Chains A and B, each alone.
Chain A
Amino acid sequence: MSDTLTTHLSPRELSVGSALPELRKEAITKLQLVKYAGASGDYNLIHTDDETARRVGLDGVIAHGMLSMAFLGEYLCWLTGPTSIRRLTVRFAEMVRPGDVLTCRARVKALEQDAGGQRMTLELWAEDQRAQQVTFGEAEVVTS
């Protein structure tokens, strides 16, 4: 079940403060928001219907905050593999709109060796094309 071959990090080469390789996602589309609404079960129409979004004072639909968190989840899988993830904690700081391009970035916050392997705490975030952090937080991964 290990996805070692698809990971993009070798934690042994890392130290506290190291910046990790970034993952740039495709521009978010309205179709993606409709798909995400269906897949996640979040049917709040402010994510899929412009008229509803305008009624609550927005310019148009905004992405689900959880979609940007999902990007960070994918980023962790990409970095260290889907079986390595112990915790992912985020705050949603800014709105994301269709057309926005999010890039996931991370820095090593702490490294320790424990019985289960190398435990790594990451500071991570998704930023938009204006280099604004839209979603940010922390993650813990364990690699063998």
Chain B
Amino acid sequence: MSDVSVLRELIGRQSDEVLVEVERGAIRKFAEAVGDTTEACIRGDIAPPTFPTTIRIPIPGLTFDLARVLHGGQEYRFERPILAGDRLRCRTRLRDVYQREGRLGAMTFLIIELEGRSGDGEPVFSGRSTVIVR
């Protein structure tokens, strides 16, 4: 049972800041898996726009049964592209939890945010995931 009231108590909870080193090899491996033909991504110079999905930082106290979650939607915003060699200070946060009636009955929606900043604290990118728990 996904108890919405329990989940709602976690709204605002965030992870610690994690330092993510963007490796050229990781960019290349990601581009290759996607079949991405963008030269700069194949070379590993510039990360493809959905590369931040590789940054997975758990929020303390928030766990899922993978068999019961769906990825409903995703957003990424960029102040600049993510580059090989970037050292990004990243953090995830549970922004919201709500329930909606959907095609499959009552479903719980979680909005999870991810942000990445450069070493000097300038925002580089942000992500917003909609996770649906059946």
> Among B11-19, B35-43, B88-96, which stretch is in contact with chain A?
B35-43
A56 B67 Cβ-Cβ under 8 A: yes
CA distance A87 to B78 in the complex (A): 6
The answer to the question of B71 belonging to the interface, with a C-beta cut-off of 8 Å to chain A, is: yes
Give the shortest distance, in Å, between A64 (CB) and chain B (any CB): 8
Question: Nearest A residue to B55 by beta-carbon distance?
Answer: A41
Once A and B bind, how many residue pairs between them come within 8 Å at the CB atom? Answer: 117
B29 A85 Cβ-Cβ under 8 A: no
Number of interface residues of B (CB under 8 A): 35
B48 A41 Cβ-Cβ under 8 A: no
Partner of B76, one of A39, A88, A92: A88
The answer to the question of B105 belonging to the interface, with a C-beta cut-off of 8 Å to chain A, is: no
B50 A73 Cβ-Cβ under 8 A: yes
Number of interface residues of A (CB under 8 A): 42
Once A32-B33, A36-B34, A40-B53 are accepted as A-B contacts, the answer to whether A90 and B73 lie under 8 Å apart by CB is yes
B38 A78 Cβ-Cβ under 8 A: yes
Question: Nearest A residue to B38 by beta-carbon distance?
Answer: A77
Q: How does the 8 Å CB contact mask read for A63-78 relative to B, with 1 for contact and 0 for none?
A: 0111101110110111
The answer to the question of B72 belonging to the interface, with a C-beta cut-off of 8 Å to chain A, is: yes
The answer to the question of A50 belonging to the interface, with a C-beta cut-off of 8 Å to chain B, is: no
5 A–B pairs (Cβ distance < 8 Å), ordered by A: A26-B35, A39-B30, A67-B34, A74-B41, A91-B130
The 7 closest A-B pairs by CB, nearest first: A73-B49, A35-B33, A39-B33, A77-B38, A89-B75, A91-B73, A70-B34
